[in-house]
């Protein structure tokens, strides 16, 4: 899976990596149990500080997407907890996206179609 980092984005780099790994897991590009690169290797590939990657992995671990151990490094969790709940943070994000779409004149049907596509994993 290829991740893309925009150095000029307002979104911090650790969050950009986190978001793309989550999208990779959702779309199936990153399979359950798949090995992720070590903190050092990923930091070297992107050319960033190891602390940034470490922060991403800590975040993904606390959110239940990956598991880490000293022996095997980081892997995508075999079973990701399905709570069926959208977090407040994501609700706010979704509200912002819907609002922007409405202002831009995007129809509800088009927006729903897009949601269906993403939900099906056709990213």
Q: What angle do CA 107, 112, 116 make, to 5 degrees?
A: 150
Q: Least Å distance between CB 63 and another protein?
A: 17
Q: Least Å distance between CB 36 and another protein?
A: 6
Among candidate residues 58, 75, 53, the one with its CA nearest the CA of residue 66: 75
Q: Which is nearer to another protein, 12 or 37 (CB)?
A: 37
For residues 93 and 69, give the distance between their C-alpha atoms in angstroms, rounded to a whole number: 32
Which residue ranges make up the site for another protein (CB under 8 A)? 1-8, 21, 24, 30, 36-38, 40-49
Q: Least Å distance between CB 48 and another protein?
A: 6
What tokens appear for 59 in the block?
């975040």
Q: Which is nearer to another protein, 69 or 88 (CB)?
A: 69
Q: Which is nearer to another protein, 68 or 111 (CB)?
A: 68
Name, in order, each residue with C-beta under 8 angstroms of 35's C-beta and a sequence gap of 6 or more: 72, 73, 74, 75
Q: Quick check: 7 and 47 in contact, CB under 8 A?
A: no
Q: Which is nearer to another protein, 73 or 111 (CB)?
A: 73
Q: Least Å distance between CB 72 and another protein?
A: 14
């Amino acid at each position: 899976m290829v991740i893309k980092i925009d150095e000029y984005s307002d979104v911090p780099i650790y969050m950009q990596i986190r978001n793309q790994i989550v999208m990779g897991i959702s779309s199936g590009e990153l399979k359950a149990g798949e090995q992720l690169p070590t903190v050092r290797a990923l930091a070297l590939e992107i050319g960033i500080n190891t602390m940034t990657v470490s922060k991403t992995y800590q975040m993904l671990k606390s959110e239940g997407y990956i598991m880490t151990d000293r022996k095997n490094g980081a892997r995508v969790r075999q079973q990701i907890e399905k709570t069926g709940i959208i977090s407040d943070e994501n609700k706010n994000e979704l509200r912002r996206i819907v609002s922007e779409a409405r202002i831009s004149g995007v129809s509800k049907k088009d927006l729903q179609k897009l949601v269906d596509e993403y939900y099906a994993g056709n990213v």
